[in-house]
Structure 1
Amino acid sequence: MVGQVLDGRYRVDARIAVGGMATVYRAVDTRLDRVLALKVMHPALAADGTFVERFIREAKSVARLAHPNVVQVFDQGTDGSYVYLAMEYVAGCTLRDVLRDRGALQPRAALDILEPVLAALGAAHRAGFVHRDMKPENVLIGDDGRVKVADFGLVRSVDTVTSTTGTVLGTVSYLAPEQIEQPGAADPRVDVYACGVVLYEMLTGEKPHDGDSPAVVLYKHLHEDVPPPSAVVPGMAYELDELVASATARTPAIRPYDAVALLAQAREARAALSVDQLDAVPPQALSSDHEQRDIGADLTSVIPRSLTVPRPLPVNEEEEAEGAVFHRTSRLESPPPLPPRRRTERSRRRLVTIVAAVLLALGLGAGVWYINSGQFTQVPPLLAKTEAQARDRLEQSGLEVGKVEHAYSDTVKRGTVISSDPKQGTRIRDNDSVGLTISDGPETVRVPDVEGYRLDKARSLLKDGGLEPGMVSRAFSEDVRRGFVISTDPEKGTERRAGSAIALTVSKGSPIDVPDVTGETLEDAQADLEEAGLKVKVSSEEVNSSEFDQGQVALQTPQNGSTAAEGDTVTLTLSKGPEMVEVPDVVGAGVDDAKAALEGAGFQVDEDRGLLGLFGDTVKKQSVKGGKTAPKGSTITITIR
């Protein structure tokens, strides 16, 4: 298609990528003179009318999803057999390119990429969209460091394709278990799972599950948990392990309910990390002189500045300590030469030095003995386990259960562990106690009775009850006054999660039949409409009308016969009277020519032949003389002799 112009507007300059459903080209919008990306569906899919219809419908919906981290859709159209999307062109590379050339990323870099991705998905989830195919290939990183999510809309329109090919939508490495078991059932938590896998891959440089075939990978997603990143990257912060575990829980109910909730957890994890933990370079990171492979841009200009801070990650605490000691001793300088002292003073100082060395050795020995003789262990992973399972796990580790508290949680299943004190991985003495916080599930509240309240008061009552006012629709009601609540959805008394949105139906008042006031004077029309309980607005523009005289109502909106609510406004447009048109002079012309001239000027024509003109063909007279004006649409009589 390179060189072609679609719809007479989009000139295709180069092919960017080829996928399973479409080919992406770099193109120029010749009308607006801007570079954009053109996604053209493969002909086999374009021949499927149902697929194309859904593709267009979803593209229109996604075009309304204005978010700085979503690749925007500018236009959609067809040109012959080509069905295309015109989208924002992002100059840069994909996250897959970054991982291929950089390996594992620093935690700060991974979070810098994850957070805008979650912000984009969160906006989509709250608007009713599920991406369903989140993977590094769909995360674009611009030359300016901006992160954008691609392939919204298209991924939600391929159900018809998957049903005919028998394949499961999405790349197998990022599929949530429920997508594998029920390919047609997907909610925002499948995107949450995929983001957890992407985060794991950014932190470790590898996918959590691998195998010789896609079937093996699918089996592992169904039956094995995603391992903590620290299992691959020693020294990785516990908060990042927890974030990955929360996002990739195999049970959907345990995961954050959408990307907004996961974004909140990611920001909490970032806040809990030190600068050294954020900027540590994992051993799996590739060296800076690693050969770049077909990215098309130097990655140092593509990745945000925070992705390139070089600070090595210690493999364990002992190595970290040794490194610190080496660093300090390497910077010590030799003391200046001492002045000569008497032999007795020199001997005394030597004795003091020997005593101090002996005491230091005894102290170090005692410390080593204390550490080695005491029994130490680490707090085991307890997140998402039931209280009974957590108690058993602590007992197996030689620890006791401390204070058990309960808290509401929107993301952790009721009866399972939200957190422990100390946290997982903390080194504590054997037989010490570990406190547990158990989830009581989402906090639920009852929908209050707001029927019969004004809309503003109803909204206030919902907020006071721990809920959020949702979408407002309006309906006629004989019983409820205009502006007051008729009902809620869900109904009053229904239990809902705290913070849920409650839809409100507000009364428009009793229905009123709009009277017909066309042809009336403005004063009479206003009186009739106001008597019916309606307001009147007069349009600033007037129209010509051959039916109504100047000053009479020529048009009304809404029209008569329509139904309106009390207090609604009816717009009136007044007549300027008929449009006056100059009458052509047709005396002496043939009948056919005369009729054509008069009708062309906008008049109707009536023939008067009488007895003498039955066989005549020449106009001897016309009812309005040529050169004068008459109302457009009026009738001109021609006399034929």
Structure 2
Amino acid sequence: MQKRVLNHRYEIERRIGEGGMARVYLGRDLRLNRRVAIKALHEHYASDMTFLQRFHHEAQAAAGLRHPCIVNVYDVGQDGDIHYIVMEYVEGSDLKSLLLRNGPLPIDQAVAIAEQVADGLEAAHRMGMVHRDVKPQNILVSPSGEVKITDFGIAKSSLSTALTETGVTFGTADYLSPEQARGLSATPRSDIYALGVTLYEMLTGRLPFTGENAVAVAMQHVSVDPPPPRMFNAQIPSRLEELVLAALSKNPDERPASAREFAQMLRTYRVASQEATVVRPAPRPPQPRPVAGVAAAAAANAPARTPLPPPRSPVVTQAPPSSGGRDLGVFLLGMMFIGLILGVVYLAATGTFDNLFQSGGGTRPPPIVLPEPIEEPTATPEPQMAIVPDVIGLDERSAIAAIEGAGLLPYAELPRASDVVSAGLVFDQFPPASTVVTASTVVTYVVSTGPESIPLPDVVTMRGIDAEFQLRSLGFQVQVVSAPDRLSAGFVFRTDPPAGTPLRRGDPVTIFVSIGDKVRMPDVTGLAEEEAIRRIEIAGLSWSYSDYQGCDKLGDLCDRYAPGVVVSSIPRGGDLVDRGSPVTLGVRAP
């Protein structure tokens, strides 16, 4: 079969992938003789001028991205009803396939890949582009280890804020940021969150959140803390675990401020870990144990002790001649002096001196008695305690009265929406009711503004599975109805109520998903042949042939139908068939 060539330049070889908006083909640029990837939009987008405007605008913005870690966009164009983007073709494997084949990656390799992705995202963010669907499937790894981000197909440019986002895929639930799961706009920090999930998966071989369906996973992204990755891989250093969990913070403000900052954090960690494996630090000398009590305070305030000098060597001298008689005299005097001292000590120890004072009329000086310190009584008044009243369900005036009546101080936070408590009533307080606190403690309360009203987003032309996921994540009850439409099969062509309708969480929404451009075959049995053909054409089908049947074929039916009347049809009445399908009629012969 002859290969198709777009605009006499891009030859399509074979299909290599498909997504919600487009199919991806391996092709060749005949002019430059190089392999390329060609992304062609699904046919039903060709008639959506608003989407086409946005498609070409985003393609031009993506074409302006030039970074070693981003797949290059070479061209954007149209050939008949095919709108396409021509991109760099990258040899290698996507990261998801790599993980499925090999399991968790070595720590150094995982960090290096995340670092390159963060560098590429930073380049896109500086250009005002948010990827919005960062995941291993959109990260290509070449055999040499080079990393490239692909599929900016649902990226949003700051230059296109005035354009609608009809047909944009909502994102993959496994890597979805909490703010996107709530239906809010994606920001550069949303991409950082998705990269954090990807790094988590590279290190552990598993996702932080799993569930029975996409909605269950999205709700965990919103409200459940991820299990520490070291639970599944004890080889992960604690410092690296901190970086991963920082990227997975529920609050975007608690994540790294930018992709550049996250890349720098990963780079600093990687360099430090490499140096630690090359140069092992010398062991620290043993530290003295801490001193307890008063001795510890004294040790803390004492000046540094000067080390004692080493003992001096003994000096040996020779005695001068003819000094023996003088040495003997000195020795005898020393012995007498020592005996005198020992005698005084003995008399003092046996109390002889006291007896001498008493017998000799001497007076021993009285002992000095110091006055004992007078301890002043310490005042220990007990604080007055109070019990926090229960103000949930009260109106604000009653809540204030109850708090002040308990001797406490009321403080109102900004009112917030509540799906449980009616507007004007308190739905939250702190400290909780019945808590025992000191008097004059501040009690904070929040007044409900009632159930939150959310405009129904426009999900028409989105894939049915993505539309259902987005609406359920906003809290709506979704019913899916399959019906024929000119839109391609699997895409939403209508919602009830329509987009923009203000709804509350829990309200029902019906989405109508196309089963393809099909029409229902009318029941033409019993009609005259000409009338049957007219109705077939009105229904969007084409009459191809009439089989005239005599009574020998019809049997009992021959008496029920007059000549020239339709007795059967292929397809049968009520069947759903592709628009324009041929119809064969069985007609009683004259």
Question: What TM bracket, shorter-length normalisation?
Answer: 0.3 to 0.5
**Structure ranking higher on relative contact order (CA contacts 8 Å, 6+ apart):** 2
Give 1 or 2 for the bigger CA radius of gyration: 2
> Normalized against structure 1, the TM-score is what?
0.41
